[in-house]
Amino acid sequence: MSHIERMEVEHAELKQKIDGLTAFTTTQVFLDLPSIDQQLMEEQCKHMVGYLDILYRRLKRAGAFPCNGIELSVGVYSGCNGLHGDCPTCGH
């Protein structure tokens, strides 16, 4: 398995864990935890999301996700041909 494939697997697994933790924070079990434990879990989730973003950006730079360029307005992108090395989104 290539390093790109390993990152793709790690990205998918981490996303699943974030989704599970996020769902858990809406349950009564979570709300019944001491506030310090709630805060720690929320902080953990925040860091997990940050790590997920880094994996996503690395995968995007590796070509695993196509780059649409800069979002000019909601759902409208500038486009990125990956040829000039000046795209601020992906660096290509």
Output the DSSP codes for 74-92.
Answer: TTEE----SSSS--TTT--
Cα–Cα dist 72/79, whole Å: 10
Residues 70 and 83 in one domain: yes
- One domain, residues 34 and 8: yes
User: How many domains, in total, are found in the chain?
Assistant: 2
Amino acid at 78: S
- Residue 51: per-residue pLDDT: 95
What pLDDT, on a 0 to 100 scale, did the predictor assign at position 86? 60
Helix and strand totals (H; E) in the chain: 3, 2
**Domain containing residue 47:** 3-61
Q: Look up residue 92 and give its two tokens.
A: 């290509």
> pLDDT (tens digit, 9 = 90+) per residue, 43-80?
999 999 999 999 988 988 888 876 667 777 776 767 66
Q: Between these two residues, 4 and 79, which has the higher pLDDT value?
A: 4
